[in-house]
Structure 1
């Protein structure tokens, strides 16, 4: 039995039976069989079904939002935005599919017809995390289906109803049986499925340790593995930044979703000319957050996912303080924040350096470290001093400087004057320990298809 404990009050919100080996085997066989017919379905017909899926999903916005808040604790004032983001990504990937999947003409050659066709891989296994459960899953589910693959979704035990919502809407939209299925699995059974020869690609989002596990499980087979892993993302506030805008964006980027985002901001570098004003503004805005029950529409900061996670975050903060960091936020100003609960006050650590936990590890909570820098060069060196590389950002009025600095940063996405956002028209990709592979954009389709060359001699 799989139990989902709500971080709101510690109650059991969902209980589901784990799938047996017989059910798993049947699902894999059904996916293989269904994919053979689905791959021959015209792209425009696939698009019609998935567009109906979007409409059905949108019609359930309120129920999905409440359900999501109960499962993972994000404030109810924000959970509807995940429905909006899911639809934005899904509809974009549907719209660009004809272009992305079109044959590639190799050009004229007398007596020959030559082109490259993008074929579906077969069966895609999506393993999705709980922190943005719909946004993470949609990145691979919709484009994989649009490309002609069958999909099996294994969602986090914390957010299993998100997988069920996908399945229900896709079925009602008219997707043929077997093309999309949900399995509720143990970690051991998930590893077995990764090794199974009926799986042709694995899209995993989760921790670095989880990524290593998936990669090891797939290592004896020549299949693709997409890994979207952790982050300890840096931002640089340049001397010419619009300071009010930078403060508003960066505080939100550090604390939204209680800091539980792989691309959330954790390392903040501020030019010495604006350092004092930035710190004062950051602290002032942080004090305005309301930590509490996420079902209350006035709450702006909910609990982290579980008490054990909160305890780990508290330990990481204390480790940095013991090493010399100074806490800028008085946790007593957030009375709901108490040891032994998943309710955790936001924190900003000053006087930090790169020997400290906050600047080296992914904390996955409402915590950031802030350092003063004296130049662009120092900011670049510090931003690159990490094993991670998912996103990085700069606040400046100088676009040329932003481009020049961005070219020197080891990251998958470089932002100017914004952060913590996925544009579905752009490739979502990490470097170093933040993973490999790509989702979204036309480029994302390349990872869910294989090229097949056609070399046809028309005259002999």
Structure 2
């Protein structure tokens, strides 16, 4: 019997879509076709690859009106914000297309009489991209476009929550006129995915997901000697210094904590505020949070949609309850948001004070609309607390003193340091993490390094 995946919509709990899951044989055949296609694609000039990828982006953006409501039904993103993901996809894709010539250019060492020497960036082969549901297009594009630009073929396995997103990308590639086999999608269960990773035709795996998922990817790749890029989430901190522009800090951090219902790997999950501005910050943060409209993501007035599934909302409720029992104070009454109901995916935003690092809310990834805020007395105090985490994806510092931000940033164990902003990926900067946030790099010229290998040419021209 053919296995199927079922997409249960967080909007109303209905069955939104069903798709057949590929078995090991079908997945293997697809990977073999990807390998065959890649050999021809790698010989296509870079300029032609760029033209194809540009047409792909154009075709994708032209489907915006269909993409936005599909996102809402699949993972709960309010339609008021769905177009932002399309715009972000376009920004990242066009940036990586533009950076390809520089990033893939051969390295030529100093001249040596009688020799021609250079290092070429050679494609790896078949790249298997395993993308998460929370930003399905933004996550996928980080590896898809640079992999294709570098001469690889791509096989995309999208989260079971967002399979229609994979199909949209496949349709855009078809409209762009892509050669058969260079970009394919496949729906697989965990067992078949592990076997695909172990398949000899796969040369690199780009995974975004949980820490446990990353560990499973590494186990599946054991003994293959292939590259594995892992982006595994975070518990991202923010520090509001005494000299911060409080209005700007509050606006940025409320959005950073609650956008996408807090379901962002680089969303703000813990905030440290200098004691001199703590009271004013808390009051303003609480007031702005109350302005969210929780409800049906298909309603254009909604600014906070449901979480991806009821179980995810219950996990966050559990963290909040445990923190309150341990002495935390919850500033937002859930009753203020009538749509927030236990047993559903709808959860109001939560702001907690009097928190400590003994609480799960301040240690473990929440991935929901809840944030803890602590008072600190100094930069040193804030720095120690920001580093007191198994994660290290981003950290943001809110201050009018750039030198202080750099000094603090130098001491934070993180992949990205922000000053006066948060929860954003700049495609011209490396996206990377440390500790349990994973390893590897996407975006920027450095993002091409993992998707290629150095190949040296050492040619004696005089004998």
Give the TM-score normalised by the residue count of structure 2.
0.99
User: For 1:44-65, what per-residue CA distance to the aligned partner results, in whole angstroms no more than 9, with x for missing partners?
Assistant: 0000001001111111111111
User: Cα distance, 1:197 vs. partner?
Assistant: 1.0
Q: Which residue of structure 2 lines up, in the alignment, with residue 244 of structure 1? A: 247
Are 1:423 and 2:426 an aligned pair?
A: yes
- Which residue among 195, 207, 219 is the counterpart of 1:204? 207
Q: Which residue of structure 1 lines up, in the alignment, with residue 41 of structure 2? A: 38
- Which residue among 135, 138, 142 is the counterpart of 2:141? 138
User: Cα distance, 1:174 vs. partner?
Assistant: 1.4
Q: Which residue of structure 2 lines up, in the alignment, with residue 362 of structure 1? A: 365
**What is the alpha-carbon distance in structure 2 between the residues aligned to residue 330 and residue 298 of structure 1?**
21
User: Cα distance, 1:21 vs. partner?
Assistant: 2.7
Q: Which residue of structure 2 lines up, in the alignment, with residue 174 of structure 1? A: 177
| TM alignment of 1:64-79, pairs within 5 A | 64-79=67-82
User: For 1:76-95, what per-residue CA distance to the aligned partner results, in whole angstroms no more than 9, with x for missing partners?
Assistant: 00001000000000000001
Q: Quick check: 2:126–2:152 contact (8 Å CA) kept in 1? A: yes
**What is the alpha-carbon distance in structure 2 between the residues aligned to residue 236 and residue 421 of structure 1?**
16
User: For 1:177-233, what per-residue CA distance to the aligned partner results, in whole angstroms no more than 9, with x for missing partners?
Assistant: 011110000011001111111100000000000000001111111000000002000
Are 1:189 and 2:192 an aligned pair?
A: yes
Q: Secondary structure at the match of 1:104?
A: coil
User: Cα distance, 1:312 vs. partner?
Assistant: 1.1
Q: Which runs of 5+ in 1 are unaligned?
A: none
| TM alignment of 1:284-303, pairs within 5 A | 284-303=287-306
Are 1:334 and 2:337 an aligned pair?
A: yes
- Which residue among 411, 416, 423 is the counterpart of 2:414? 411
| More moved, 18-27 vs 232-241 | 18-27
Q: Which residue of structure 2 lines up, in the alignment, with residue 8 of structure 1? A: 11
**What is the alpha-carbon distance in structure 2 between the residues aligned to residue 386 and residue 22 of structure 1?**
42
User: For 1:379-407, what per-residue CA distance to the aligned partner results, in whole angstroms no more than 9, with x for missing partners?
Assistant: 00000000000000000000011111100
**What is the alpha-carbon distance in structure 2 between the residues aligned to residue 122 and residue 21 of structure 1?**
20
**What is the alpha-carbon distance in structure 2 between the residues aligned to residue 28 and residue 266 of structure 1?**
39
Q: Secondary structure at the match of 1:204?
A: strand
Are 1:440 and 2:443 an aligned pair?
A: yes
**What is the alpha-carbon distance in structure 2 between the residues aligned to residue 68 and residue 375 of structure 1?**
42
**What is the alpha-carbon distance in structure 1 between the residues aligned to residue 405 and residue 24 of structure 2?**
53
Q: Quick check: 2:10–2:345 contact (8 Å CA) kept in 1? A: yes
| More moved, 169-178 vs 376-385 | 169-178
Q: Quick check: 2:23–2:192 contact (8 Å CA) kept in 1? A: no
**What is the alpha-carbon distance in structure 1 between the residues aligned to residue 126 and residue 446 of structure 2?**
19
Q: Quick check: 2:24–2:195 contact (8 Å CA) kept in 1? A: no
Q: Which residue of structure 2 lines up, in the alignment, with residue 120 of structure 1? A: 123
Q: Quick check: 2:77–2:305 contact (8 Å CA) kept in 1? A: yes
Q: Which runs of 5+ in 2 are unaligned?
A: none
**What is the alpha-carbon distance in structure 1 between the residues aligned to residue 266 and residue 217 of structure 2?**
21
- Which residue among 62, 83, 86 is the counterpart of 1:59? 62
Q: Secondary structure at the match of 2:436?
A: helix
- Which residue among 147, 150, 159 is the counterpart of 2:150? 147
Instruction: Give the aligned length.
Output: 460
Q: Secondary structure at the match of 1:456?
A: strand
**What is the alpha-carbon distance in structure 1 between the residues aligned to residue 252 and residue 276 of structure 2?**
19
Give the TM-score normalised by the residue count of structure 1.
0.99
Q: Which residue of structure 2 lines up, in the alignment, with residue 305 of structure 1? A: 308
Q: Which residue of structure 1 lines up, in the alignment, with residue 231 of structure 2? A: 228
User: Cα distance, 1:22 vs. partner?
Assistant: 2.8
Q: CA RMSD in A?
A: 0.6
